Amino acid sequence: MGRIFEVRKSTMFARWDRMAKQFTRIGKEIAMAVKNSGPDPDNNPALRRCMVNAKGVNMPKDRIEAAIKRAMGKDKTDYEEVVYEGYAPHGVAIVVDTATDNSTRTVANVRMHFNKLGGSLGTSGSVSFLFNRMGEFKIKNEGVNMEELELELIDAGLEEIGEDSEGNIVLRTAFNDFGNMAKALEEKNITPISSELKRIPTTTVELSEEQAKEVLELVDRLEQDDDVQQVFHNLR
């Protein structure tokens, strides 16, 4: 009984850690959106997107409202978006998107993670050319005719359509068409589960299971850093 409880407790704590990290990430996104375009979601598409993503990870409404209020307050934290690039072990390219109030601390931490786990932090532009920046929208697949949806959204910039492992429909657009797609979905009364800017690798690296484990250990370590928003890699 004791062992089963420990396994369950470990799984539960891991889930809570992931949830807390998601809430922190979205809280920072809300702060930056409010700073750039104000606290009214009706006039701030970026804030609307943040609120949709918050609901998608079950962030409580009162925490969303508190994040908006903090972003408007005198003691608000000003976050800066900084991108870091480098290589994991075995030549896998990694791009790290951060939101930080202290870039000196952040770059030191990111470099430490790379160095400790066999990677190397590179310079700006060293690996980003291996990724396409795209908008990615996930919507529930509730009796949707994907062929019809594809035809309806081509004019909004749809480039790719498919399904994820949970059966949700994934729509991808070019970076510059992100706003067009968001508007098109709104007009169709389709509320995405999530809508984010992603970095999609143009080529991938295939490794053995043991080698891939080393790469994913670095990715996991980076994702746990408080300043890191997202980590992208080209491991197949």
DSSP secondary structure string for all residues of the chain: -HHHHHHHHHHHHHHHHHHHHHHHHHHHHHHHHHHHH-S-GGG-HHHHHHHHHHHHTT--HHHHHHHHHHHHSTT----EEEEEEEE-GGG-EEEEEEEES-HHHHHHHHHHHHHHTT-EE--TTSSGGGEEEEEEEEE--SS--HHHHHHHHGGGTEEEEEE-TTS-EEEEEEGGGHHHHHHHHHHTT---SEEEEEEEESS-B---HHHHHHHHHHHHHHHTSTTEEEEEE-B-
pLDDT over 50 at 7, yes or no:
no
pLDDT at 69: 94
pLDDT at 91: 97
For the chain, domains (ranges, CATH) are 2-72 (1.10.10.200), 80-129+202-233 (3.30.70.980), 133-201 (3.30.70.980)
Other beta carbons within 10 angstroms of residue 210's beta carbon come to: 7
Span 33-61, average pLDDT: 93
Q: What is the pTM of this model?
A: 0.88
Amino acid at 165: S
Cβ atoms of residues 93 and 127 within 8 Å: yes
Span 101-124, average pLDDT: 98
pLDDT over 50 at 10, yes or no:
no
Amino acid at 85: E
User: Which residue has tokens 């990111």?
Assistant: 110
Residues belonging to the chain: 236
pLDDT over 90 at 131, yes or no:
yes
pLDDT over 70 at 105, yes or no:
yes
DSSP secondary structure string for all residues of 77-106: ---EEEEEEEE-GGG-EEEEEEEES-HHHH
User: Which residue has tokens 């075995």?
Assistant: 90
**Percent of the chain residues topping a pLDDT of 70:** 93
pLDDT at 5: 41
Amino acid at 77: T
Amino acid at 145: N
Residue predicted with more confidence, 38 or 14: 38
Q: Which two tokens stand for residue 139?
A: 């919507």
Residue predicted with more confidence, 75 or 120: 120
